[in-house]
Chains A and B, each alone.
Chain A
């Protein structure tokens, strides 16, 4: 199969001259083997963890502020502390369902360094007293499943996983589980439903916060693949070294995939908190700017669910406390870049269609609203829309997310930002995510919609029977 244009072992990944916490082995051909892993310091973090009381390991992770990389950015150590006292057993569910549009990192971590993930799972189970771990990999990721299965088989044989790990009293099984294609299953309560053998529909929170009532009704920690992959390095180097990278509120690094119209689309491990979107999109060693002769029109900063940014926002760093007030979110580390050739309504449609199709159907505003948004937007793109459709899009959006919806500021349009987050009438974020691209596109590029629709005279409702 073709290897792509970049790193032969990790297609799309670029190293650069930067700190590397989770991608340090990506350039090695056999990085996925136990031999290479152990030869490069692998399982040292586990050894160090097991030499200390579990409570101390938990405290180390807490003080490092390892932000969740799955989308919500909640610190892992704090999450582990939210389980109710004295309810046993507790479980770990690893979220390897990566499917948010634009997101490409967890798959690489599973394919290129499965032992690092396994070691991270073990450290989490040890620190938080979790008795069994279920590692849920997206169904469509054949190679990731093979690599993790192989790594688990090796790790069991070598005594790193299972009973009395490294001769200690710590015993835990890691069970490889895999899905079958449904985006919404990435939402943590849907992931648990799916793991229980059901249709993957999100549960209502409250009461179903996984840390309190999760898998089989037990306290359950759900963590993302990248979040857990940070733990081996953290155990070896300590929280102080971790927080020395990045900023106090966004320490360490994070993996970001940049796709679309840049010169060098790719996956980069960037310093958290300080790296700006301008660095990433235009910097040498990163994407190197736009395609030849083109200029930046807009970009999606944090996965398909995120409201869009304009060139106005390029100097924002990867720091939630700055991106939120500017009207969007960092989400899952996925930037999608559109240049001046982009057909904006059509681009928005590729996302809205995604979320409309992936709606699980549990809540009406998402099930019906998403479908309506897709339909209306489609007819606009096909040149069959009217100006009434533009208002209708916003009206449908209001039924999903009442009130002001976040958007970026624009000097050109003379508008200021509406901060993240939004209010929502749905159980999970799929409904609002169907609306976000429509709202951004329509707010920031209304002229492109107007140029496409037929102007119609509004007939007041009282005029029933009037001819058109």
Chain B
């Protein structure tokens, strides 16, 4: 149970500064919280509420709409197997049964060692490479029982630690707008006229 660390508060403020309204940063900050703790804690949501000027209930209301946010600890690796049509046509159901057996857990469950959570997911925009799965949102394509087993063995042996960060970390690269390069936010209350480059002429 943790509020955001000092470093994350600094990052949060940088993110907030890019939006005309602070509340727009809610989802990015929830990701930051999940990155810090592996899931989204109540304390973090209360802290985010303070940062964006909302109530904790409003932040929870937003967070609970989105499937990626977890409100309880999950495995270090979350494996999402796609079960939508294209993957289903190519054997996703068999793959799911195989995965449940290999890991000894049901869909939604976490292995006893806390390493892997298995989930059923929906279309991952990789339909031509079916059946597919994501491990912490990194893809495996045209998955067979053998390649699934190899993935699990690699995860257990720590061989993919460089490629796949722990659950909560999605993108490892952050946008950074240099202070001397930014055009700045354009809030409705501050901007009342056409942008300079339209040169006074109305846009079509």
Contacts and interface: CB of A to CB of B under 8 A. Distances in A.
Contacts of B124: 140
Contact of A197 (B52, B174, B182, B203): B52
Interface in B73-121: 80, 83-86, 88-90
Interface string B187-204: 110011111111101111
B134 interface: yes
Chain B interface helix/strand/loop/mixed: loop
B2 interface: no
Interface residues of A, number: 102
A172 B63 CA distance: 30
A1 interface: yes
Contacts of B193: 88
B157 interface: no
Nearest to B185: A132
Contacts of A347: 85, 88-89
A355 to B, nearest CB: 10
A416 to B, nearest CB: 27
B188 A173 contact: no
Interface string B122-136: 111111111000101
Contacts of B52: 197
Contacts of B139: 1, 11, 143
B201 A55 contact: yes
A407 to B, nearest CB: 18
A54 B197 contact: yes
B177 A180 contact: no
Contacts of A140: 68, 80, 124, 134, 137, 170
Interface in A126-158: 126-129, 131-132, 138-143, 145-146, 149-150, 152-153, 156-157
Given A159-B181, A163-B181, A304 B84 contact: yes
Interface residues of B, number: 81
A127 B198 CA distance: 8
Given A104-B127, A177-B28, A53 B201 contact: yes
B162 to A, nearest CB: 12
B1 interface: no
A183 B203 CA distance: 33
B19 interface: yes
Nearest to B136: A142
A107 interface: yes
A175 interface: yes
Contacts of A403: none
A265 interface: yes
Contact of B54 (A168, A197, A259, A304): A197
B176 interface: yes
A357 interface: yes
B147 A141 contact: no
A258 B130 CA distance: 11
A300 interface: yes
A360 B64 CA distance: 12
B185 A173 contact: yes
A113 B170 CA distance: 20
B8 interface: no
B183 to A, nearest CB: 4
Contacts of A146: 171-173
A131 B182 CA distance: 12
A34 interface: no
B202 to A, nearest CB: 6
A200 B198 CA distance: 33
A156 B177 contact: yes
Contact of A81 (B61, B85, B127, B204): B204
- A62, A142, A260: most-surrounded residue (chain B CB, <10 A): A142
Contacts of A83: 203
Given A102-B127, A162-B183, A182-B65, A11 B89 contact: no
Contact of A157 (B62, B85, B129, B178): B178
B128 A179 contact: no
A358 B130 contact: no
- A4, A86, A354, A360: most-surrounded residue (chain B CB, <10 A): A4
A171 B198 contact: no
Interface string A163-190: 1000011111101111111110000000
Given A138-B125, A168-B197, A266-B128, A197 B27 contact: yes
B67 interface: yes
Contacts of A259: 86, 89-90, 127-128, 130
Given A1-B139, A304-B85, A58 B204 contact: yes
A89 B56 CA distance: 30
Interface string A326-351: 00000000101110001000110011
A149 B203 contact: no
B69 A99 contact: no
Given A107-B125, A260-B86, A260-B90, A175 B183 contact: no
A234 B30 CA distance: 38
Given A156-B178, A259-B127, 20 more contacts: A1-B138, A11-B139, A12-B129, A53-B199, A88-B192, A103-B123, A129-B194, A131-B186, A142-B171, A171-B183, A173-B177, A177-B24, A180-B68, A259-B90, A260-B89, A304-B84, A304-B123, A336-B86, A346-B88, A358-B122
Interface of B: 18-21, 23-28, 30-31, 52, 54, 61-63, 65-69, 80, 83-86, 88-90, 122-130, 134, 136-143, 147, 163, 170-178, 180-188, 191-199, 201-204
Nearest first, the 4 A-B pairs at minimum CB distance are A180-B66, A197-B26, A197-B23, A181-B67
